[in-house]
Structure 1
Amino acid sequence: MKLGVFSVLFAEKSLEETLSYIASKGLEAIELGTGGFPGNAHCNPDELLADNGKLKAFKQTIESSGIMISALSCHANPLHPQKAISSVQDAELRKTIELANRLEVPVVNTFSGCPGDHEDAKYPNWPVAPWPNDFQEILKWQWEEKVIPYWTEVGGIATNAGVNIGLELHGGFSVHSPATLLRLREAVGGNVIGANLDPSHMWWQGIDPVQAVHILGRAGAIHHFHAKDTTIDPINVNHHGVTDMQSYALMLDRAWQFRTVGYGHDMKTWADIISALRLVGYDYVVSIEHEDGLMSVDEGFTKAVENLQQVLIREPLGEMWWV
């Protein structure tokens, strides 16, 4: 396995400064934002696809740093019911897939998106209960009319480009759990749809990340991995529930909050996650994502690196000499 980072943390630094900084921390990989919510501070598809000279220079900058690109990421909602929004985000995703092909990057990370509840809807609708039955009707319409057709088309584009799609299992989107990821993967067919698995979103939904790794890994459905932690407040969660709608900034009152690695769960838990990844055959990049409201970017990132260095399994598997 290799340790990497999602570069959105360092949007105020240049690409060269970012690569130099993460290399100094011992990292071997970088995940680059290309649009959507992460932005494209270090990797602008429009510029790179339009100018072969810029694309070549970009490749040389990456290669000379000794850092590999683990994924291009444009997390957004390409199924947003407002066409003015979804058309832009869909275009960014398609350009990102093309750029990944040109850069020989194997994974594009994003969200599945979430549609509205009918053709003329203005806002996404995320059903989370089977009753009243209206919610079941909405869910059926969304998957049959929007989710499956869209990802079947985009999955085909990605397959032709030699790129896998890593969907982050995130609340508020149609794919948010191992079951919904596997449902879409089966509907689309092949291996192109997989997870960008982030334990932080499993914990707040009440899903054990180790078991999520086993469920998805046994199906060969983990394309990328984010390292981010979550802490559950034992009092506030009983007040607000896990679907707490308060701002992330209200950390003292929220039911749960994102933390840097090791500050939500101990290192034994993280060692179990890393071991489960190795057990199911995932030996790719563990990409740090820092969204800890109690730590600066540098401190939160540095602590995540230090903690993960303790548990990351780097060397290739050898023979079981004791057998």
Structure 2
Amino acid sequence: MKLGVFVARVFKDLPFEEMLDFVKSWGVEAVEFGTGNYPGDIFVKPAQLLADGGKQKGFLHAVESRGMFISAFSVHGNPLHPNRTIAREHHQTLIRTIDLAQQMGVPVVNCFSGNPGAPDSTLYPNFAYLYWPPEYPEILQWQWEQQVIPYWREVGRYAAQRGVNIGIEMHEGFTVHSPADVLRLREAVGEVIGAGFDASHLWTQGINPVEAVKILGFAGAIYHVSTKDMIFSEANMNLYGVLDPKPMDQPGFRSWYYRTIGYGHDLKTWADISSALRMVGYDYVLNIEQEDPLIDGLEGFTKAAGNLRGLIIRSPLAEK
């Protein structure tokens, strides 16, 4: 496995090549770039690179000449949004990103599954994962059968024809937010669909990431791994519960919030995740993603890099 980093807003104040030199100095071998929608497109603007082969070559040279490679593009959005203007914009950015990934030899595009509304909803998504009252299961069935599966069958076919895999991040608030959801969509669409694995969003749902790695990994359904930690505040959790809508920049009042590697769960837990990934045959990138509200982004990156470098297993498995 190799150490990677997701370069988005945290690195926005650094010029492109200065940013590359900075992450390289901390042992980074792979870089994931945002290409629009929620992550923004600070370093990669797909329309511009698609229109100019010279810019593409220059961009790749800047990365590869430093001994690094692009592990993935991130285009997280909601292409199923019931507001058709938002859905169309997010869909078009996703398609441009898939095209760019093909041209630049990037094997994975990471994104969200999206979340539709209800049959008569025109403005807002509807997260309908409740067993009762009875209208919720009816909405959820409609979302999967009429929106999620048909959309991803079409986009999955488009991506597969271009040799690009789709890494769906399991995130609260989107239709696909658990290992079971990833496997359901993969079964319906094909092997082009896998997981953009982020342990932090599983912990918030009470899912053990080590076991989730085994469930998805033995199915061959992990395409990219982000390392972002989180922590629960027991006092706030007892007051508000796990479903907490307060902003992430108010950690003192939230039931849980994101942390830098080493400041949430202990390093033994992250060693267990790394070992589980090795067990299932994952040998790609462990990607740093920094969203800790208590630590400056660049400092958080350096702390995470220092901790993760010691956990990555690099030697090949001995043959039995």
Q: TM-score range by the shorter chain?
A: over 0.9
C-alpha distance in 1 between matches for 2:133 and 2:203: 27
C-alpha distance in 2 between matches for 1:86 and 1:163: 21
- The normalised TM-score by structure 2 is 0.98
In the other structure, the counterpart of 1:99 is 100
Q: Give the RMSD, CA atoms, in angstroms.
A: 0.9
C-alpha distance in 2 between matches for 1:155 and 1:111: 13
Q: Which runs of 4+ in 1 moved over 2 A?
A: none
Residues 123-143 of structure 1, C-alpha deviation per residue, up to 9 Å, x if partnerless? 000013110010000001101
Structure 1 residue 319: deviation in Å? 3.3
Structure 2 residue matching 1:252: 3-state secondary structure: helix
C-alpha distance in 2 between matches for 1:57 and 1:298: 26
Please tell me whether the aligned partners of residues 197 and 226 of structure 1 are also in contact (alpha carbons under 8 angstroms).
Answer: yes
Structure 1 residue matching 2:123: 3-state secondary structure: coil
Please tell me whether the aligned partners of residues 81 and 119 of structure 1 are also in contact (alpha carbons under 8 angstroms).
Answer: no
Give runs of aligned pairs for residues 259-298 of structure 1, distance below 5 A: 259-298=259-298
The total of aligned residue pairs comes to 319
The residue type paired with residue 33 of structure 1 is G
Further displaced range: 151-160 or 304-313: 304-313
Please tell me whether the aligned partners of residues 73 and 110 of structure 1 are also in contact (alpha carbons under 8 angstroms).
Answer: yes
In the other structure, the counterpart of 1:38 is 39
C-alpha distance in 1 between matches for 2:175 and 2:3: 29
The share of aligned pairs that are identical, in percent, is 55
The residue type paired with residue 90 of structure 1 is H
Please tell me whether the aligned partners of residues 80 and 114 of structure 1 are also in contact (alpha carbons under 8 angstroms).
Answer: yes
C-alpha distance in 2 between matches for 1:316 and 1:31: 24
Residues 195-227 of structure 1, C-alpha deviation per residue, up to 9 Å, x if partnerless? 001000011111000011011001100000000
Please tell me whether the aligned partners of residues 5 and 289 of structure 1 are also in contact (alpha carbons under 8 angstroms).
Answer: yes
In the other structure, the counterpart of 1:170 is 171
- The normalised TM-score by structure 1 is 0.97
C-alpha distance in 2 between matches for 1:296 and 1:243: 26
Further displaced range: 269-278 or 114-123: 114-123
Please tell me whether the aligned partners of residues 129 and 140 of structure 2 are also in contact (alpha carbons under 8 angstroms).
Answer: no
In the other structure, the counterpart of 1:151 is 152
Please tell me whether the aligned partners of residues 11 and 298 of structure 2 are also in contact (alpha carbons under 8 angstroms).
Answer: no
Stretches of structure 1 lacking an aligned partner (at least 5 in a row): none
Structure 2 residue matching 1:59: 3-state secondary structure: helix
In the other structure, the counterpart of 2:305 is 305
Structure 1 residue 120: deviation in Å? 4.0
Give runs of aligned pairs for residues 70-219 of structure 1, distance below 5 A: 70-189=71-190, 191-219=191-219
Stretches of structure 2 lacking an aligned partner (at least 5 in a row): none
